[in-house]
């Protein structure tokens, strides 16, 4: 395939701050890196660049465009300094800016950076240059197709390649989980402002029921939640908590461990996205958050959404029976 070299500098803007937000972008970055091997890719975010920090073990790095502005796009005064901050850099302009959010204020500020082409879904692609018949469907493949339209170049879509992950994580995962009867569980949420948690007691009852069916429950719990880990160990027969048993940790290790599980049960959280990269069957419980927006798009994902099942944002309404019917 002929690589696309005419767009020397390409900027990706992402206002989301969570690890899950960034993990969802891995296939997009994989696609860009495949199609733009001779080009400069830059990342500008309202928060830190996780790809060069907490997600570095996924093997996809991208240079940060440092404008020395905290929470870029979230303050109106950024509109008046964006261009001057950019001119302090050695870059002349961006050939392409890709705006991955749809907040009007952020888009208006981002537009102040010197550029040739601009892609944004804000106000139904009103700010995109050139104007075109862009798809309004909100998924990764349509995003890439829209970028193809914007650039007038057909991009080859590539999924994230887990072979980028260092083999040490897979070797350790196989040592901790040597067999194939494991069911993964993730029950803690990162965003404390939304009631996304399913009751711990339900997770414990579910895990013990699956133990009676010769399954081994594997709980993905960070070391900082040691009290929760102790409760799980006391309450669930044969429960394994890998991060309490290994010196390795982090998102790439979660993905490697997930690849050893025959199924994964989780709420809407960052671990959900880490496990989804392993392409294993998943059951995901949603309450107040938007499953269509945040759930992985893998074919083998089952969504249990309290809003659809019980016309309620209360995730507690989801029952054990709702989950068990898929075993």
Q: Where are the domains of the chain?
A: 9-162, 166-324
- The answer to whether domain 9-162 and domain 166-324 are alike in fold is yes
The alpha helices in 60-184, defined as continuous H runs, are: 78-87, 104-110, 122-125, 140-151, 167-176
What is the pTM (predicted TM-score) of this model? Answer: 0.91
Does residue 104 carry a pLDDT above 90? yes
Q: What is the mean pLDDT of residues 102-123?
A: 95
CA gap 198, 183 in Å, rounded: 17
Check residue 189 and give its pLDDT.
82
Structure tokens given for 216: 């081994």
C-alpha closest to that of 70 among 52, 103, 105, 46:
46
> Would you state the CATH architecture of domain 9-162?
3-Layer(aba) Sandwich (3.40)
Q: What percent of the chain has pLDDT over 70?
A: 97
Q: What is the mean pLDDT of residues 66-71?
A: 90
The alpha helices in the chain, defined as continuous H runs, are: 19-23, 26-35, 78-87, 104-110, 122-125, 140-151, 167-176, 200-211, 226-235, 251-258, 270-276, 291-294, 306-310, 320-324
User: Which of residues 69 and 305 earns the better pLDDT score?
Assistant: 305
Does residue 2 carry a pLDDT above 50? no
> Would you state the CATH architecture of domain 166-324?
3-Layer(aba) Sandwich (3.40)
Q: CA dist 303 to 150, 250, 267, Å?
A: 33, 25, 10
Q: What angle do CA 120, 269, 308 make, to 5 degrees?
A: 85
Query: Helix axis angle, 226-235 relative to 200-211, nearest 10°?
Result: 40
């Amino acid at each position: 395939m002929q690589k696309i070299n005419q767009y020397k500098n390409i900027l990706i803007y992402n206002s989301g701050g969570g690890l899950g937000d960034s993990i969802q972008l891995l296939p997009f970055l994989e696609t860009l890196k495949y199609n733009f091997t001779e080009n400069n890719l830059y990342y500008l975010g309202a928060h830190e660049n996780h790809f060069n920090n907490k997600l570095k073990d996924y093997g996809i790095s991208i240079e940060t465009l440092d404008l020395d502005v905290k929470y870029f796009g979230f303050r109106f005064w950024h509109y008046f300094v964006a261009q001057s901050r950019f001119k302090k850099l050695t870059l002349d302009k961006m050939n392409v800016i890709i705006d991955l959010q749809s907040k009007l204020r952020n888009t208006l500020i981002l537009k102040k950076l010197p550029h040739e082409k601009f892609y944004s879904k804000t106000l139904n692609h009103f700010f995109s240059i050139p104007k075109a018949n862009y798809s309004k469907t909100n998924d990764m493949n349509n995003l890439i197709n829209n970028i193809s339209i914007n650039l007038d170049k057909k991009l080859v879509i590539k999924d994230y390649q887990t072979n980028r992950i260092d083999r040490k994580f897979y070797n350790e995962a196989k040592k901790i989980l040597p067999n194939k009867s494991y069911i993964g569980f993730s029950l803690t949420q990162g965003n404390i402002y939304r009631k996304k948690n399913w009751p711990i007691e339900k997770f414990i009852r579910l895990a013990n029921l699956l133990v009676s069916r010769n399954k081994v429950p594997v709980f993905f719990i960070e070391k900082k939640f040691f009290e929760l880990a102790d409760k799980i160990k006391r309450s669930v027969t044969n429960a394994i908590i890998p991060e309490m048993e290994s010196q390795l940790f982090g998102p790439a290790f979660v993905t490697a461990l997930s690849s050893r599980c025959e199924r994964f049960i989780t709420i809407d959280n960052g671990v959900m996205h880490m496990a989804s990269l392993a392409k294993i069957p998943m059951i995901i419980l949603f309450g107040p958050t938007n499953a269509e927006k945040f759930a992985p798009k893998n074919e083998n994902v089952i969504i249990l959404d309290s809003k659809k099942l019980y016309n309620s944002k209360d995730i507690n309404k989801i029952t054990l029976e709702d989950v068990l019917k898929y075993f």
